[in-house]
């Protein structure tokens, strides 16, 4: 068994508490703790890696990596950056282009 300290956002904690309450309410033949609930959630989850990566993409790093690329496919780069922008990355926002200039 390994121990790991994890910081949960409010939304995740609410979900854990809800499942914990549902699992323990009226359950008299055993015991369930928060670790049990979280372990089950992890074991039964399917993580969308593309979505996870988009949520944690740093626009600045993405642009620097694109700039360093020798064989830059501009159309593919625009597509990827549009996806990132559409997801509303927390790290930094792409500037909005209007009338051929960046704001």
Where do the structural domains in the chain lie, given as residue ranges?
A: 10-45, 52-102
Asked if 52 and 20 touch (Cβ cutoff 8 Å), the reply is no
Report pLDDT digits (tens) over 62-91: 888 878 888 888 887 788 778 777 766 454
Asked if 89 and 58 touch (Cβ cutoff 8 Å), the reply is yes
Report pLDDT digits (tens) over 29-47: 999 999 999 999 999 999 9
Helix, strand, or coil (residue 19): helix
How many Å apart are CA 12 and CA 8, to the nearest integer? 6
Residue 34 CA from chain centroid, whole number: 22
């Amino acid at each position: 068994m390994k121990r790991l300290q994890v910081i949960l956002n409010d939304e995740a904690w609410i979900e854990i508490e809800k499942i914990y309450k549902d699992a323990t309410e009226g359950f008299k033949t055993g015991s369930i703790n928060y670790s049990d609930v979280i372990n089950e959630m992890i074991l039964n989850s399917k993580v969308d890696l593309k979505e996870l990566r988009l949520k944690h993409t740093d626009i600045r790093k993405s642009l620097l990596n694109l700039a360093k690329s020798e064989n830059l496919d501009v159309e593919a780069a625009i597509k990827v950056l549009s996806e990132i922008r559409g997801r509303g990355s927390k790290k930094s926002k792409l500037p909005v282009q209007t009338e051929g200039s960046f704001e």
